[in-house]
Amino acid sequence: MKPERVAVVGVGILGAGVGWNLSRRGIEVVFLDAGRPGEGVTNWSFSWVNASNKTVRKSYFDLNVAGMEEHRELARTIGPDSWWYPDGHLRWAADPAAERKLLNTAELLTGWDYRVEVCTGAEVRRRLEPALALPDGTPVVFYPDEAWVHGRHLVSRLVSAAVASGAELRSGTTVRVIGTGADGSIRSVALSDGSRLDVDAVVNAAGPDAADVAGLVSRRLPMRREPGVVTRIACAQVPVRRAMHAPHIEIRPDGNSSVLLHSREIDALIDSGEDPSELARLLHASARQVVPALGSGHIAQTRVANRPIPADGFPSVGAVPSVPGYYEAVSHSGITLGPVIGRLLASEILSGERDGMLADFRPERFAP
């Protein structure tokens, strides 16, 4: 039966995507977030829209390709404004073994009809990114259909549109209790501000806190602990146009006056007790080796955030049959997958029909 009122717990890119799709189809939506929309892990992500890094399983690759297309459709629907930057993505390696792996992946992707261009460092500097310190003969893979997204701006657009359609936003509050009826189905949520809401369904899009929300319906959702550190560098002029994976460092623009940095190698130092300010300094030093112009910038913001990754590394999306009216939308690839998961899950909530694209990513794969 189609619900009349749905509580969306967590207003990052996934929660915003589900809530916007439900609201535009006439459902009363209540957004619930402990902070403010889009300011959690969505705002502290590399925010790279891609499928080139998702080749471990063909169904996962296909879902991410659908996510890329959904972003393009969303930009046509709501306008690209300050959130959509479809300028492609660059990647190159530091040693022969990593270079062979990169080129083998590029060959695999070409066979899957994914657009790939292999350039030299000289071509990249001449045609795409003149500010890079990149040897002339270095092979560089360019993925022209990839993009980056300003996640906080996109969430703001989607939530604002949903609220204009009648949705309600409650920031600064958490869910303490999820109430169920005699048949085990969702009936209400009780909040930390003392209020109680009658609802027909709950969407758990709580990101790193998703396991805690699942626990409120006696559901075990196993999650990885995988923190990441992200730094924003303030610049008088942003020296790069697109996202890139250089050896040891990931770099992308972050609007008109800053650049965002991330590195898996630096993430590995988080649990050693290094102060985040020192991690930021290491990120900045690594980035200057690739983009010397970043030397004139300064560290503006740094945050360590836990990534919302289910235990097997894949999304958990859809209904949990043991708790009628309870749904999950939990994924590390939230930026790429947010719009497509939002559409598919909203359709499932409304119709009860399961889309085959989500078959490998159903919540019930995790045993009780």
Q: pLDDT tens across 255-298, in order?
A: 999 999 999 999 999 998 889 999 999 999 999 999 999 999 99
Structure tokens at 303: 């945050």
Provide DSSP, 223-291: B---EEEEEEEE-SS---SSEEEETTEEEEE-SSSEEEEE-HHHHTTGGGT--HHHHHHHHHHHHHHH-
CA–CA separation, 178 and 188 (whole Å): 6
Q: Burial level of 179, CB count in 10 A (0-12/13-18/19+)?
A: middle
Residues in contact with 275: Cβ distance below 8 Å, sequence separation at least 6, in sequence order: none
Delimit the domains of the chain by residue range: 5-46+151-224+311-365, 89-144, 227-306
Rounded to two decimals, the pTM is: 0.96
pLDDT at 274: 87
Residues in contact with 96: Cβ distance below 8 Å, sequence separation at least 6, in sequence order: none
Question: What average pLDDT does this structure show over 233-237?
Answer: 96
Angle at 17 between CA 15 and CA 19, to 5 degrees: 65
pLDDT at 273: 86
Question: What average pLDDT does this structure show over 188-210?
Answer: 97
Buried/exposed 46-68: b ≥16 CB within 10 Å, e otherwise: bbbbbbbbbeeeeebbebbbbbb
Cα 73 to chain centroid, rounded: 17
SS3 of 179, please?
strand
Q: Which amino acid is located at 186 in the chain?
A: I
Res. 368 pLDDT band, cuts 50 70 90: confident
**201-204 and 5-9 strand pairing:** parallel
Q: pLDDT tens across 297-348, in order?
A: 999 999 999 999 999 999 999 999 999 999 999 999 899 999 999 999 999 9
Question: What average pLDDT does this structure show over 168-191?
Answer: 97
- Token look-up 């990754």 returns 309
Question: What average pLDDT does this structure show over 99-128?
Answer: 98
Question: Among 159, 197, 192, 162, which Cα is nearest to 175's?
Answer: 192
CA–CA separation, 130 and 139 (whole Å): 16
Residue 205 has pLDDT above 80, yes or no: yes
The answer to whether the beta carbons of residues 188 and 179 sit under 8 Å apart is yes
Residue 3 has pLDDT above 80, yes or no: yes
Question: Among 37, 14, 8, which Cα is nearest to 330's?
Answer: 14
Question: What average pLDDT does this structure show over 196-224?
Answer: 97
Res. 367 pLDDT band, cuts 50 70 90: confident
**48-49 and 147-149 strand pairing:** antiparallel
Cα 293 to chain centroid, rounded: 28
Average pLDDT, the chain: 97
CATH superfamily of 5-46+151-224+311-365: FAD/NAD(P)-binding domain (3.50.50.60)
What percent of the chain stands above pLDDT 70? 100
Structure tokens at 244: 């890139």
pLDDT at 17: 98
Q: pLDDT tens across 16-43, in order?
A: 999 999 999 999 999 999 999 999 999 9
Residue 1 has pLDDT above 90, yes or no: no
